[in-house]
């Protein structure tokens, strides 16, 4: 039953292509579809290139070299993951604006006239590529770093003995060896880029997601919006397949290698400064710049926490906590059932697909599903469309994969012999879950819970569409304030979102460090 | 003596590989039976079949006149009242030694009485509050044994329970176990590859080869 609830919204979306195409669809097909497609292609291509350069180069530096600040950068390079792309987009827009901080600093520095503009308009596709590139490169950094660490020291040493220097070894040996990891990371970034709504909407770049939103809320044509969603979903699933295929190759590479005991090379003076600079730029642009600018903006607001923001924060906590508890409970139950009753892991894989479905599309699918249910419920004088249920369902479907990854690996670390011992001691399945699994999984459950909350707090598109009337969350407040150009007021809730985004960073960092050990 | 465990014509296969082929075994009440055999001969699989952790493709298992397994019936593991002590560390890591021992006892009153008694007999009272990671291999095995024996199982099965323990410790444990099982009138079935263990503990010994048992 849970599987059906998870999959029905997606099936509703796909089924739209069998319901005929309206005039709106043909209008979009003739006038806008090419623009949506080309913009999406440019965006994905540009972002992929940028994240590869940033992610791989920084991972290579912190793995194979010692330089000033390396210990800090090892974990700080993941920090931009805490900043949702839409927040960096807002900061960039204001920061590089005619009267923004960047132009003001340079005008003061060069004592030029107040109408001189140093930075071009950032609300372009190049600007969007920079925003996505600097917030999403940690995906490539993390997988590349782990893959670099798994290259046996003997392989790198053999390359040196054959006369290759570090740079030559990097291009001819290290990169080909970790290629599956890079592809997996880039595929994830491509999926995130295609699924994004907030940043491209703010930059007014027509892409599939903004097109879906406009078709639905502007043309009021849900079916055409669903048909556009199907096209995007198809592309997302291609990237998902690429990511999964590459990931299986990473496992293969890792399984045949031994742990790396490679001694990093000490970089001196200029080289050390250059390495510092290469690592500093992405961390600064992706994390410190938005955080500092948001703090700066917050300081210029008289009332930091207005009643509206306080309500939005409590709504956010209430909805995220409820969804996180439910998600972890469902993930725990399903993993327990899969383990205890020997059901195929395919069930978990199916349920985890939700993370790849863009929030906007999921929201469209859930709305369609709920309106169908309402057609039946109306006989009983009630309806569920527009209720909190839709949002909670969207959150559960989106975040199931995260809690599943954590709980599945935690559960797998419990030897099956413990379950069997409990059984031979007369324990029922319920007792096994309650008295053995749950106490042992306490840390895993807490980790999953925190990771889900961190993910949900920054979720924007599904929240924007599915929230009940007069129910704002922090991400929605930031979006609405930013769309009204009230950036200073949007700053504090933005900072709170970043603060919660730091939770998964802590766990990811621990994971990478344990891999290193 | 009464035929207590009857294993009749058991077949078990994994991925088309036949592990047990029409295997038969009868154990009398109160007896201690040992099974030896080469690695991979199916000794552990036989124990797992008897306690219900594996399902054979055919055959019957009867314990104390109750049908545990046949073509129509399969009593779940937790309801068979069969104890299993294995070589691996299977103490629940989040529970202390005494909590591990009391895990299967449902009545509060029994918990204190029975666990105290068995710990005294196995000489592990001083380990009561210790957690599995604080116990040595021999101590862990004794706690695991206590955990199974305290349930007063109809049948206690031991799967190479003493592997990894040093010789002196083994010599100390053998008589302790034998006396406890005898006093509790528990029928036991042990899998081992150590003939010294067989000599010290078993009343009867079988060899498992090509999926069938032969008495030694």
Q: Which of residues 402-461 of A touch B (CB under 8 A)?
A: 415, 417-418, 420-428, 435-436, 439-440
Q: Which CATH architecture has domain A32-299?
A: Orthogonal Bundle (1.10)
Cβ <8 Å between B92 and A418: yes
Say how many CA atoms lie within 13 Å of A150 toward its Cβ: 23
User: In a structure prediction context, what are the per-residue pLDDT tens digits for chain A, which is 517 residues long?
Assistant: 777 777 788 888 888 888 878 888 888 888 888 888 899 999 999 999 999 999 999 999 999 899 999 999 988 998 998 898 988 998 988 888 777 777 878 887 777 776 777 777 788 899 999 999 999 999 899 888 888 888 877 777 777 667 677 788 888 778 888 888 888 888 888 888 888 888 888 888 998 888 888 888 788 888 888 888 888 888 888 887 877 777 666 654 544 444 556 678 888 889 999 999 999 999 999 999 999 999 988 888 887 778 888 898 899 989 999 999 999 999 999 999 989 888 877 777 778 777 777 888 888 888 888 888 888 877 776 777 778 888 999 999 988 888 888 888 888 888 888 999 999 898 999 999 999 999 998 888 888 888 788 788 888 888 988 888 888 899 999 888 888 878 888 889 899 889 888 887 787 777 666 655 5
H-only helix segments in A125-197:
125-149, 153-161, 166-169, 175-195
Percent of chain B with pLDDT strictly greater than 90: 31
Q: Which of residues 366-385 of A touch B (CB under 8 A)?
A: none
Do A219 and A24 meet the contact criterion of CB atoms below 8 Å apart? yes
**Residue of B52, B88, B103 with shortest CB distance to A425:** B103
**Residue of B80, B83, B88 with shortest CB distance to A415:** B88
Q: pLDDT value at position A114?
A: 67
Cβ <8 Å between A424 and B88: no
**Residue of A415, A427, A436 with shortest CB distance to B78:** A427
How confident is the model over B161-181, as a mean pLDDT? 81
CATH number of this structure's domain A1-19+300-517: 1.10.3720.10
**pLDDT tens across B9-62, in order?**
999 988 888 889 999 999 998 899 999 988 888 899 999 999 888 889 999 999
Structure confidence at residue B191 as a pLDDT band (50, 70, 90): very high
Which residues of chain A neighbour B86 with C-beta distances below 8 Å? 417, 421
How confident is the model over B140-149, as a mean pLDDT? 88
Q: pLDDT value at position B199?
A: 86
Say whether pTM exceeds 0.90.
Answer: no
Q: pLDDT value at position A256?
A: 44
Do A56 and A256 meet the contact criterion of CB atoms below 8 Å apart? no
How confident is the model over B152-178, as a mean pLDDT? 84
Cβ <8 Å between A427 and B104: yes
CA distance A433 to chain B (A): 13
CATH number of this structure's domain B3-215: 3.40.50.300
Query: Which of A341, A419, A425 to mutate to probe the B interface, most B CBs <10 Å?
Result: A425
Strands B204-209 and A65-66: unpaired
Which residues of chain A neighbour B80 with C-beta distances below 8 Å? 424
User: Scanning every residue of chain B, which has its alpha carbon at the shortest distance from the alpha carbon of A426?
Assistant: B78
Which residues of chain A neighbour B79 with C-beta distances below 8 Å? 426
Cβ <8 Å between A417 and B147: no
Q: pLDDT value at position A294?
A: 92
Q: pLDDT value at position A47?
A: 95
b/e per residue, A158-168, with b = 16+ CB within 10 A? ebeeeebebee
Supply the ipTM of this predicted assembly: 0.80
Cβ <8 Å between A418 and B90: yes
Which residues of chain A neighbour B74 with C-beta distances below 8 Å? none
The domain limits of chain A are 1-19+300-517, 32-299
Residues of B with CB under 8 A from a CB of A: 51-53, 76-84, 86, 88-90, 92-94, 103-104, 144, 147-148, 151
In angstroms, what CA-CA distances link B90 with A435, B76, B93? Answer: 15, 20, 8
Q: Which tokens hold the place of A494?
A: 């933005």
Cβ <8 Å between B147 and A425: yes
CA distance A445 to chain B (A): 15
Do B11 and B49 meet the contact criterion of CB atoms below 8 Å apart? no
Cβ <8 Å between B90 and A428: no
- Residue B25, beta-bridge partner list: B7
Which H/E stretch holds residue A509? helix A487-516
Neighbours of B182 (CB within 10 A): 12
């Amino acid at each position: 039953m849970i599987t059906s609830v998870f999959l029905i919204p997606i099936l509703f979306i796909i089924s739209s292509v069998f319901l005929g195409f309206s005039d709106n669809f043909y209008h979009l097909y003739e006038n806008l579809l090419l623009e949506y497609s080309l913009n999406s292609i440019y965006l994905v291509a540009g972002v992929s290139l940028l994240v590869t350069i940033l992610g791989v180069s920084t991972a290579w530096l912190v793995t194979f070299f010692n330089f000033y600040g390396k210990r800090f950068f090892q974990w700080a390079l993941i920090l931009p993951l805490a900043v949702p792309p839409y927040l960096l987009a807002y900061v960039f827009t204001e920061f590089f604006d005619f009267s923004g901080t960047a132009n003001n600093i340079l005008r003061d520095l060069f004592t030029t006239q107040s109408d001189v503009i140093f930075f071009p308009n950032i609300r372009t596709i190049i600007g969007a590529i920079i925003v996505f590139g600097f917030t999403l490169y940690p995906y490539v950094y993390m997988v590349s770093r782990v893959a670099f660490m798994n290259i046996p020291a003997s392989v790198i040493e053999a390359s040196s003995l054959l006369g290759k220097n570090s740079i030559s070894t990097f291009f001819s040996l290290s990169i080909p060896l970790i290629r599956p990891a890079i592809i997996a990371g880039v595929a994830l970034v491509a999926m995130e880029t295609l699924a994004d709504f907030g940043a491209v909407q703010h930059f007014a770049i027509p892409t599939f997601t903004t097109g879906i939103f406009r078709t639905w809320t502007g043309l009021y044509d849900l079916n055409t919006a669903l048909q556009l969603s199907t096209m995007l979903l198809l592309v997302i699933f291609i990237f998902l397949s690429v990511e999964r295929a590459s990931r299986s190759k990473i496992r293969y590479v890792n399984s045949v290698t031994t742990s790396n005991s490679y001694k990093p090379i000490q970089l001196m003076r200029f080289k050390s400064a250059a390495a510092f600079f290469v690592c500093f730029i992405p961390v600064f642009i992706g994390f410190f710049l938005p955080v500092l600018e948001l703090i700066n903006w917050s300081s210029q607001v008289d009332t930091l926490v207005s009643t509206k923001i306080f309500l939005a924060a409590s709504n956010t906590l209430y909805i995220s906590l409820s969804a996180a508890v439910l998600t972890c409970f469902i993930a725990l139950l399903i993993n327990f059932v899969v383990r205890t009753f020997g059901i195929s892991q395919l069930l978990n894989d199916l349920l985890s697909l939700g993370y790849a479905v863009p929030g906007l599309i999921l929201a469209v699918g859930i709305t369609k599903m709920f309106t169908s249910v309402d057609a039946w419920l109306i006989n009983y004088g009630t309806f569920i469309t527009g209720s909190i249920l839709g949002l909670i369902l969207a959150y559960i479907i989106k975040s199931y994969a995260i809690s599943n990854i954590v709980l599945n690996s935690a559960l797998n670390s419990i030897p099956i012999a413990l379950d069997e011992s409990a059984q031979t001691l007369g324990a029922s399945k319920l007792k096994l879950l309650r008295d053995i699994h749950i106490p042992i999984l306490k840390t895993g459950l807490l980790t999953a819970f925190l990771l889900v909350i961190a993910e949900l707090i920054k979720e924007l598109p599904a929240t924007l569409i599915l929230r009940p009337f007069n129910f704002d969350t922090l991400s929605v407040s930031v979006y609405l304030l930013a769309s009204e150009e009230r950036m200073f007021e949007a700053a504090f809730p933005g900072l709170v979102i970043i603060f919660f985004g730091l939770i998964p960073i802590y766990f990811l960092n621990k994971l990478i460090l344990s891999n290193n050990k | 003596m009464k035929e207590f465990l009857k294993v009749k014509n058991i077949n078990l296969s994994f991925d088309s590989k036949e592990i047990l082929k029409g295997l038969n075994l009868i154990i009398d009440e109160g007896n201690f039976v040992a099974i030896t055999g080469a690695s991979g001969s199916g000794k552990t699989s036989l124990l797992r079949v008897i306690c219900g952790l594996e399902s054979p493709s055919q055959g019957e298992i009867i314990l104390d006149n109750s049908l545990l397994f046949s073509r129509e019936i399969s009593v779940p593991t937790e309801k068979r009242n069969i104890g299993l002590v294995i070589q691996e560390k299977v103490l629940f890591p989040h529970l202390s030694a005494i909590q591990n021992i009391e895990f299967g006892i449902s009545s509060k009153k029994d918990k204190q009485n029975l666990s105290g008694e068995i710990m005294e007999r196995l000489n592990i009272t001083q380990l009561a509050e210790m957690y599995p990671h604080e116990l040595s291999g021999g101590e862990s095995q004794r706690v695991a044994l206590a955990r199974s024996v305290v349930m007063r199982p109809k049948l206690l099965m031991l799967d190479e329970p003493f592997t990894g323990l040093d010789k002196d410790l083994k010599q100390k444990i053998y008589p302790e176990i034998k006396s406890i099982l005898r006093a509790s009138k528990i029928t036991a079935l042990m899998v081992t590859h150590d003939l010294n263990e067989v000599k010290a503990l078993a009343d009867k010994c079988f060899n498992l080869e090509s999926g069938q048992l032969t008495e030694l």
